[in-house]
Structure formats: C-alpha cells, structure tokens
Chains A and B, each alone.
Chain A
Amino acid sequence: MSASLKVLAKGPCFSSGLFKHKILRLVSPTVVARSASYWDHDWQPGPYPRTKEERDRAAKRYGLLPEDYEPFPDDGNAPGDYPNLPAYSAHHRDLFANYEHRQLTRHYGEPMHINAELYRLGFVDPNNADYWHWRMPYWKQLLLLVTAVASVFGLLSIGNRYRYFPPVMAKQFPYDKKGQKHYLFEPADE
C-alpha cells in the first residue's frame, strides 16, 4: 500500500462503516488538495462510539450531557462520534446577549452543529418553510404597490380639474400693454 493509504488504514474512521465501504476506501484513489484554511488533527472526531464509556467520553468532549448526546446513524457516512445536534438558525438565539464570539452567537465551548457555517446570522434558516408562508405573496405586494402609485396619480389628475386659483391682481408692467393702463413708474411731476 502507498503511504497515504497506510494513513487511511490507521486512521480512526477506518473502523467505521460496512465491509463494502472499507473495501471501497482501500481501492479508491487518493486525491491531494491544498487548503487555505487551517486544520488540526486534534479536531478530528473520534471513532464511532460503541460502548457506554465511549459515548460518555464523546459527550464530555463535545460539551453535552450524556443523555443529550446522540451521534449520527452508523451507515458508513457518519462523521465519527460528532453529535447529531438539532439544526436551527442563529437568529433564534438572543441577538443582544454578550457572546464571547459575537458573530457566531456562541460562547466558548458550546457544541457547534456540523453545518454551523450554514446556519449563521444572515444565512440559511432550516425552519424557513414553517413561516415562509406568513409573508404576503409577491403578487399581492406588487398589486398593492401599483394600486397605491396609480391611485395617487389618478387622484392628482382628478384634482387638476378642480384647481383653486387664489385671487391675484393682474401683473403690473412699467409700460402700456395692449391698451391697458398700468402704473408707469415715472417720477411724479414736481
């Protein structure tokens, strides 16, 4: 076996999954990729917990009570002992509390969902379908907008027929215009 496959064989996740998945992982090619982000082997989830002690250890590692800890189902795709937390958007938490990580609405040591970057503030809300239908439908919004604007213009045009002109004097010119006598603005004689 090559060096990369040896690492795979020794890694903790090799023990998980059905027999066919283990064989597939042996024969599948290894793809090398460089990442710009940083990752530590300490962050690798442990192997899938089989015994009660392993479950308690995993629960303590992720900051959960043992009765709350529930790993993903063991169908070969489970991320080791990472807990299967309920997904909810960060908007459901108190936004104005004094978090240690303000942008993540999270304190230090709190368990993070495996897709936590998806459920951040301003990102996906997995429960959107529960209340998306509370919004006014788009056609109705458009209808209200068009009605408002059109009614304002319509009422303005109706109002144009009933304009009120405040009484004003005829404009004065300093010369004689069309036979009308105006003030001529000439100095008085003597």
Chain B
Amino acid sequence: MGNIFFFFSLFFFYLGFSNISVNFKVFEFNSIFSFVFFFDWISFVFLGVLMVILGSVVYFSCYYMGEELIRGRGFIFVVFSFVVAMGFLIISGDWISLIIGWDWLGITSFFLVCYYNSDSSWSGGLKTYFTNRLGDGIFLFLLSNLFIYFIFSNFYLGTFYLFLIILLSQTKSAQLPFSSWLPAAMAAPTPVSALVHSSTLVTAGVYILIRSGSILGGFNWYLGGVGLLTLFVGSFSACGSFDLKKIVAFSTLSHLGFMVMSLSSVCVDYSFFHLIVHACFKALLFISVGMLILTNNHSQDFRQVGFSFNNLFFIWVSLVSLTSLCGFPFFSGFFSKDFTLEMFFWSFNPLFYFLFFFSIFFSVFYSVRLINAIVSIQWSNLVKEYSIFNIFYMIFLLLSSVVIGVVFSGWVNNLQLISGNFLFKFLVYFFLLGGVLFFYQHFNGLISSSIFFLDSLGGGIPNNLTNNFWLFYNNVDQGVLPFFSERLSAENFMSFSKVIQVNLFLYFWGFFIIFYFF
C-alpha cells in the first residue's frame, strides 16, 4: 500500500537531478493577484524525501497503531491531507498559495496531535495551534502588503517586512521565543511525530527562509543569534529529559536552530542540505523510538526501555541514526554539519564558537544517554511479532542516513572546501569524544528540562480542558512526568482566556487589514 510513495520519490528525485526551473501560473486575477507553483530542484528533492518518509510512516503506522481499526481510517486520511498541504507549500511560488499550504498545515497538525483524546493531547494541540496562529496573523498582515511580489525574487522587501518574514518562520519552526509547542506536541502518536515533527511541519519555516535566501542579508546577526540559542537550548534540555519522545523533540529543536544558524552564513544551500539529511535520520530515530515504546507497552519512560539483543536490527538502526545525528565522521550528519561549520571558519566570533561547541557536546551527551538506555541489559524487551514487511522501510531510511550525505554533498551548489588549521577542524571531534566521556561521570541535579521557562511562560494552557469523565482510551502514549504538568488554578484559567483573546485579536486584525486593502 505504501509502496507507491517510494516510486513517487524515485520519480521526484529523477526530476530533481535534471536542472529545471518552472514557474507555473495557475490563475491570475486583475493582473496582480496570482497563484503560482514553482518547480525547482529544491522542490523535487524535498518532495522525494517527503515521499520516502511518508511511505515509511504509512507502514510504521499500520504496525504501531494496528489495533485502532475504526479510527485508523480517519487517521490516515488526516495524514494524507497533511502531506498534500506540505506538498502545496513546497511547490508554492507565491504568497497566496503559500498561505493556503501554511494554514492547512496548521489545522491538520492540530488534528493529528489531538488524535488521542487525552488532556495532554488537547493542550498540546492547542499550544501547537496557537503558536502557529500567531504566525498566521503575521502572515495575513504581510499578505495584505506584499501579495504582488513573488516570494523567490531578488526584490528587496524592506527591513520591516523582512523581519516579519523571519518572525513568521520562527513561529513555525519553533525557534526560541516560540519553541514551547514542540515538546508539547509529542502527545501525538509516534508515526505522526516521525512525519510531522521531524521533517515537514517544523521545516516549513526554514524552507521559506531558504527560498527567500537572497534577500536575508541584513539579518544575518539575528538569524545567527536565534539559531544558536535554539541550538543550545534544545541540546541542553534534551540532556535533562526522561521522556523518550521529548528527548527526540528537543533534538529536533536543536537541529532546527542549526538550520537557521546556517542560513546566516553565505551559502543557503547548506541549510537545505541539512534539512534533507536531518529529515532522514530523525524519522528513523522516531521510528526506532516508537519500537522501544511498543516494547514498553506504550510507556514513554526512558528509564525502563531497552532492546533485547535478539532485536539486533533495531539496535543497529537506532545506533546509526544517533551517530549520524552527532555528526560522526562520514555519516550523513557529518557532511551537512561540518561543511556548514567550515563556512563559519572565515571569521571567528568567540561566544559563537563557545556555544556551538557546547551544543555539539550536549548533543553527543544525550545521544550516548539514549544509546545507554537502548542497549541496557537490565531492561531488555523483545519486539516479537514483526516481519520483513513491517521493517523494510527502515532499510531505506538507514541507507539514506548513511549515504545521502556523500551523494548530495557533491551536488549542492557553492561547495567551497576550506582547508584551515588542524586545530579548528579537529576541535569538533575533541568535543565529540568529550561528550562521550563526560556521560560516564555522575552529576546530580545539574541539568533541567525546562527550556528557559518557555514551557510555563509561553504555553500556559492547562491540561484539564475536557470534562468528559467517561472518556477511556486504550493505546495511549502516556507522558511520564505528570507530576510536573500544569494543573488547574484560577490564575492559569485566566491566562488561558487571555491567550484565546490575543490570538483571536491577531486573527481578526489580519482579516480586517486584508479587507481594508482590498
């Protein structure tokens, strides 16, 4: 059933290798209001990767959620709707088609997060949707002013509008002021996280910045700072989390910060390269974490997981995706991360490198922590009922997380190899090794998992919004830290109503401006 997506991906890669660039105008109204699709090698390569991940997720969701016979049909429908929305966004060449894809993504991701009817799903979905809505409000404001310009032109839009475009991508891609929704959205089922929160929804913001890369010149300092902060905060918070999916969510957050940081360098294609590579190994990591959760009877507690050595394939898959994540030499992650780092070697900013190397250190720390949990002998559980048809897609993702770096690195434009000092190049590997060794020290209470208090400031939505006592649910991925979740009090309730008011205000304000200008 999902095989057709792998064939689509081959088709898209074939088109992507041919150097075409097509602007396809769907319709035009009054010669200013137009709706354009733009087919470029970037679009086709991204669509190809999206199809591979979609095929894998379809098979994985059949295995993971196979017990949900009745609600599963609606689930697959919403997943397909989400992917169509993402495809729409990828091939859009104009603001109008972009906002259709953007809003469609927000709505379908809300439904996907809310699939399990539990309190944490509902609050997680609301946090996701409200943060996306904030971006939509900004988008509507931009649309009312900028609808006559193509998004991929070299037309300089002015500092204010450029800053709003960057803010827009920050809300979608969970950069620092708006990153509280990504850990909360882990209340979604694991196949949804593998598709949505690894490669598609969160990279939409980075994607529009890549497309408008030629006009981002004046904001290099801002992109670099925000990306660096997100990178650091994500990798730091992952070291303090005890929930498997939250660790992977924070890892995604740090890689998104890395992508935005790489946009601040001269070459924008490296950001796209990392986007593709990250999609592959992160989807694979989510799938292997999903297998771990299955062995643990849907508990996400990281302290009781472990694959038995009879499941050597799953151990191998997790290890490969984690080493690719760290940027271990000559896996895919190495090519994207180290080439980007070399672009920053032209000039050194001291604090920049301090935070960047510590982020690499922390990323290795949480990866080794995960490996330690996966290969533990104390908690070894067996995945028994599977066949080759349930796991063959993992081989595709595995190959891509190893090989795609080599293949694409020779093909990304503007490849500049910089041979510098021995120390600068190998400093990264000293930190890799240090991260591995540091793990085996013992520290108590050093690291917390709240992302600079953003989870309590930016998402003050309580978990108790349902009032149906008789809602029972079967296969729920239960969060493991209910003791630290939000609970009802009068202040929380008031802040929640204020959140609704602010978002409604933005939404209607945007509409008002559109109608005013039309």
Contact = CB atoms under 8 A, between A and B. Distances in A.
On whether the two chains bind one another, the answer is yes
A145 B355 CA distance: 17
Interface residues of B, number: 40
A84 interface: no
Contacts of B488: 123-125, 128
Given A149-B229, A155-B351, A166-B421, A141 B457 contact: yes
A132 B488 CA distance: 11
Given A122-B464, A149-B176, A156-B352, A132 B225 contact: no
Interface string B407-419: 0000000000000
B221 interface: yes
A153 B487 contact: no
Nearest to B299: A96
Contacts of A135: 456
A152 B351 contact: yes
B485 A122 contact: yes
Contacts of A125: 487-488
B472 interface: yes
A125 B464 CA distance: 11
A166 B483 CA distance: 51
B347 A164 contact: yes
A162 B241 CA distance: 36
A156 B232 CA distance: 14
A156 B348 contact: no
A157 B347 CA distance: 14
A97 to B, nearest CB: 13
B452 interface: yes
Contact of A165 (B347, B350, B483): B347
Contact of A122 (B221, B347, B351, B482): B482
Nearest to B229: A152
Interface in B368-427: 420-421, 424
A132 B452 contact: no
Given A141-B457, A152-B229, A37 B489 contact: no
A164 B224 contact: no
A141 B470 CA distance: 37
B487 A144 contact: no
Contact of A142 (B457, B469, B483): B457
Contact of B350 (A117, A141, A145, A162): A162
Nearest to A37: B470
Interface of A: 37, 89, 91, 95, 103, 117, 120-125, 128-129, 132, 135-136, 138, 141-142, 144-145, 148-149, 152-153, 155-160, 162-166, 168
Query: What are the 7 A-B residue pairs with the smallest beta carbon separation, nearest first?
Result: A117-B469, A141-B453, A122-B119, A164-B348, A159-B349, A122-B463, A155-B351
13 contacts: A91-B483, A117-B467, A138-B456, A144-B452, A144-B453, A145-B457, A152-B228, A152-B355, A156-B351, A159-B351, A162-B350, A163-B348, A165-B346
Interface of B: 118-120, 176-177, 221, 224-225, 228-229, 345-352, 355, 420-421, 424, 452-454, 456-457, 463-464, 467, 469-470, 472-473, 482-483, 485, 487-489
